[in-house]
Amino acid sequence: MLNLSTRVANVRRQAQRIAAGMATVAPKIGDTKVSMSLLEPNAYINYQRIEDNLAIVRDRLKRPLTLSEKIVYGHLDDPHGQDIVRGESYLKLRPDRVACQDATAQMAILQFMSAGMDTAAVPATVHCDHLIEAQVGGPKDLERAIKTNKEVYDFLATATAKYGLGFWKPGSGIIHQIILENYAFPGGLMIGTDSHTPNAGGLGMVACGVGGADAVDVLAHLPWELKCPKVIGVNLVGKISGWTTPKDVILKVAGILTVKGGTGAIVEYKGPGVESLSCTGMATICNMGAEIGATTSLFPFNHRMVDYLNATKRGEIAKYAQSFAHNLQADKDAEYDQHIEINLSELEPHVNGPFTPDLATPISKFKEAVEKNDWPAELKVALIGSCTNSSYEDMTRSASIAREAADHGLNTKSKFTVTPGSEQVRATIDRDGQIATFEEVGGIILANACGPCIGQWDRRDVKKGEKNSIITSYNRNFTGRNDANPATHAFVASPDIVTAMAFAGDLRFNPLTDTLTGSDGKPFRFSSPTGKELPPKGYDPGLNTFQPPPKDRASVQVAVDPKSDRLQMLKPFAPWDGKTPEDLPILIKVKGKCTTDHISAGGPWLKYRGHLQNISQNCLIGAINAENGDANNVKNQITGEYDGVPQTAAYYRDHGIKWVVVGDYNYGEGSSREHAALEPRFLGGLAIITRSFARIHETNLKKQGMLALTFVDPADYDKVQPDDRVSILGLQEFQPGKNLTLELKHKDGSKDKISLAHSFNEGQIAWFKAGSALNLMAAHAKAKAQAQAQQ
């Protein structure tokens, strides 16, 4: 029989063994399985990867991390070997999902098909929101769009079914609102083929706008490449109240940073002021962050996100995120590359524009600005909604203003349109009475789609060229963007300011201080708007507009008519011929702002987004020619005759002559549309040489096998004459970090040599040599298949 001391020792050893065993099976965050979306029950949030990656990265960097760094580095493909230097390294990342809107999805899916893939490697969705033109009102506009775009919708419906993507039918709503309601989650990484994808940052997700070729990489199970972002910290103090809204935060930030100040950086909001912002309000701020060129914007996980997740029936995600909260906020003493502070208690409502989203004016000074600049004071149209501002909170606040005006017997003086962001928002505000209020004062309810925000607007109240003013709660206001009229002065503000101004019919009206006259002849001033952050009765989902992938995908046939003028299968671009490009003509020397709207116009051209040959007829037609100040009027250096830009480019191509474009600062800002890169490539272009690029467009050009080059000295732009012949020297030794040389041959026989910088890495140089990233992908896939066949 064992004595007492022996038994005690045995008990201790047994306890130690149990403790050791427990230590080896300690619970991990990944032990809990939570679906990314109720619509994708078998695709799970991977917080374990973030946890594991960050343990490696922290050991390597040995410093505190910002929130965006935690999420981005948490998705590294190779956390051990990845070089990590802000603003320098190219990161290879593994996004959780991909989102595409219908205008860009066409080309993305056509590229995916041409790469020979059979299924999407990550969860992905396509959203039909860009092809619905606003004309008379929601139901009729939607019905017309379904008939007009049937061929494209059939293609997208069958292609998504074939390759395993979710499909949101026309009428379902705007991509970014649908993503926020159904797919965004704290700590996730998503790429989307739309520049306002960062909207999901309102739910603590790193969500970046990209071109379709980047989306194809991820769908094909390749890492996504991103230059390691710098981080801009925006510290919010005070509390938002009264007429000031979350929209005014980003309007203010845009005024501070300008349209290029966020390039290459993630904007990270923090501070005590965050607590006064709703989840959808935070999404608004992140959405319009695209207008400052930011890689993305995001907020730290907080109780407002929990409330929104619960309201959208995603309580399990909320609980899971709460258990992971330590990695959903910045570390103490994390360092930022730039810092901004905004006091929300002192922030005024702002109005930005015209013609650029970074010309920011406080409402107290806006009347003076209108008069000083001779902007048309009469307000023709006021438009609220869009992906930026169409939440339940936005709609109820605007409806409170409309209700007060109606109670004083007023209708809007300006035309007034309302765009619900999703079918869920539309159905909810219809049930709760806000739509009835808008219609009572003369409002027109448009379809759940992008509509006028992207130029899908059959506007008939003014003639093209007629000077006029509109104000919107949208995010972008470049020349001609909303209505294709370059004389339209478009201003951007919160839905509250837009709605109030609609009743005045005058840009000089300040609802905070000015009065209107009611039907009883008495003056009144609007009360501060009121609204509900979330619907008290819960959301009404409305019509079911989602098509999940079928279980049997093999039998699905993708619908593409060879005779179509809307869809066209792609042919590979030719690889680089290995020769030094010599004596090339300059297609156009672009003067001033050149956005992707200037390079590849939207509006009526959207219908050709799946047909590269047809849409290339709009290539650079909005760019201003430095030679003569005209748009779409350039000199053919061979014939000496003037013609449109695409016609001249096609002439060069068809005669075996490569050409270049010379551009100004922030070339290609705005939309993520890769057509702005595909079109010049299709028309025979070799290089785009600028003072600087917008991030997404620069990447898109590289993906399509074009040279994206910048003047080392921006002043060298002025040395280039539109009729010069140019040679690009150094391509035989093309390598990362090594400049190329531009040789200019002027008409008078003189020459200049200019140093050109580039940001190509080894992989991107391989894209150029192969003719495109897609060519290289297809070649690798073919080689892999051949190797497997020989085994």
Q: What pLDDT score was predicted for residue 786?
A: 83
- Averaged pLDDT for residues 248-272: 96
User: Using CA atoms, how far apart are residues 694 and 704, in angstroms rounded to an integer?
Assistant: 16
Residue 224 structural domain: 67-343
Q: Is the model's pLDDT at 604 over the cut of 50?
A: yes
Pair (714, 591) in one structural domain: yes
Please spell the DSSP secondary structure of 22-45, one letter per residue.
HHHT---GGGS--EEETTEEEEE-
Q: What pLDDT score was predicted for residue 12?
A: 54
Judge contact between 116 and 781, C-beta under 8 A. Answer: yes
Comparing 189-193, 208-212, 577-581, the range with the smallest average pLDDT is 208-212
Pair (334, 354) in one structural domain: no
Q: What total of structural domains would you count in the chain?
A: 3
Pair (162, 303) in one structural domain: yes
Pair (433, 493) in one structural domain: yes
Q: What pLDDT score was predicted for residue 58?
A: 98
Residue scoring higher pLDDT (617 or 602): 617
Q: Domain with 617 in it: what CATH number?
A: 3.20.19.10
59 in a structural domain: no
Pair (286, 356) in one structural domain: no
Q: What is the pLDDT of residues 363-393, one digit of tens each?
A: 999 999 999 999 999 999 999 999 999 999 9
Q: Is the model's pLDDT at 294 over the cut of 60?
A: yes
- What percentage of the chain exceeds 90 in pLDDT? 91
724 in a structural domain: yes
At 314, list the tokens: 């995603």
| Catalytic annotation present for 194 | yes
Q: What is the pLDDT of residues 748-789, one digit of tens each?
A: 999 999 999 999 999 999 999 999 999 998 888 888 878 888
Kindly name the residue from 476, 481, 566, 611 that is annotated as catalytic: 476
Q: Is the model's pLDDT at 4 over the cut of 60?
A: no
At position 540, the amino acid (one-letter code) is: D
Q: Residue 589 contacts by C-beta under 8 Å, 6 or more apart in sequence? A: 625, 626, 627, 661, 662, 720, 721, 722
Kindly name the residue from 35, 278, 469, 671 that is annotated as catalytic: 671
Kindly name the residue from 75, 97, 127, 130 that is annotated as catalytic: 130
How many Cα atoms sit within 13 Å of 386 on the Cβ side?
31
- Averaged pLDDT for residues 397-405: 98
Give, to the nearest 10 degrees, the angle between helix 675-682 and helix 695-703: 40
Measured from the Cβ of residue 557, the count of other Cβ atoms closer than 10 Å reads 8
Q: Residue 625 contacts by C-beta under 8 Å, 6 or more apart in sequence? A: 588, 589, 590, 591, 631, 633, 634, 722
| Catalytic annotation present for 144 | no
Kindly name the residue from 196, 673, 675, 758 that is annotated as catalytic: 673
Q: What is the pLDDT of residues 510-551, one digit of tens each?
A: 999 999 999 999 999 999 999 999 999 999 999 999 999 999
Residue scoring higher pLDDT (116 or 558): 558
543 in a structural domain: no
Helix (H, G, I), strand (E, B) or coil at 350: strand
Q: What is the sign of the dihedral through the CA atoms of 72, 73, 74 and 76? A: positive
Pair (192, 318) in one structural domain: yes
Pair (379, 442) in one structural domain: yes
Of 661, 684, 643, the residue nearest 586 (C-alpha): 661
Of 442, 444, 382, 445, the residue nearest 406 (C-alpha): 442
Q: Is the model's pLDDT at 23 over the cut of 70?
A: no
Unique residue bearing structure tokens 């995908």: 553
| Catalytic annotation present for 476 | yes
Pair (312, 364) in one structural domain: no
455 in a structural domain: yes
CA distances from 111 to 175, 217, 304, 569, 686 (A): 21, 10, 39, 9, 21
- Averaged pLDDT for residues 702-716: 97
Kindly name the residue from 96, 102, 141, 194 that is annotated as catalytic: 194
Pair (384, 491) in one structural domain: yes
708 in a structural domain: yes
Task: Choose one of 509, 536, 551: the last residue of a domain.
Answer: 509
Q: What pLDDT score was predicted for residue 8?
A: 45
| Catalytic annotation present for 752 | no
Task: Choose one of 457, 478, 509: the last residue of a domain.
Answer: 509
User: Using CA atoms, how far apart are residues 382 and 668, in angstroms rounded to an integer?
Assistant: 28
Task: Choose one of 489, 509, 529: the last residue of a domain.
Answer: 509
Unique residue bearing structure tokens 């094909």: 220
| Catalytic annotation present for 129 | yes
Q: Is the model's pLDDT at 26 over the cut of 80?
A: no
14 in a structural domain: no
Using pLDDT thresholds of 50, 70 and 90, give the confidence band for residue 2: very low
Q: What pLDDT score was predicted for residue 167?
A: 98
52 in a structural domain: no
Mean per-residue pLDDT over the chain, rounded: 94
790 in a structural domain: no
At 328, list the tokens: 């959903």
| Catalytic annotation present for 673 | yes
Of 620, 606, 382, the residue nearest 491 (C-alpha): 382
Confidence (pTM) = 0.89
Kindly name the residue from 129, 217, 248, 358 that is annotated as catalytic: 129
Pair (766, 709) in one structural domain: yes
Q: Domain with 94 in it: what CATH number?
A: 3.30.499.10
Q: Quick check: bond before 354 cis, omega within 30?
A: yes
Pair (330, 358) in one structural domain: no
CA distances from 514 to 329, 399, 525 (A): 42, 19, 6
Element (H, E) at 659: strand 659-663
Pair (263, 384) in one structural domain: no
Q: Residue 718 contacts by C-beta under 8 Å, 6 or more apart in sequence? A: none
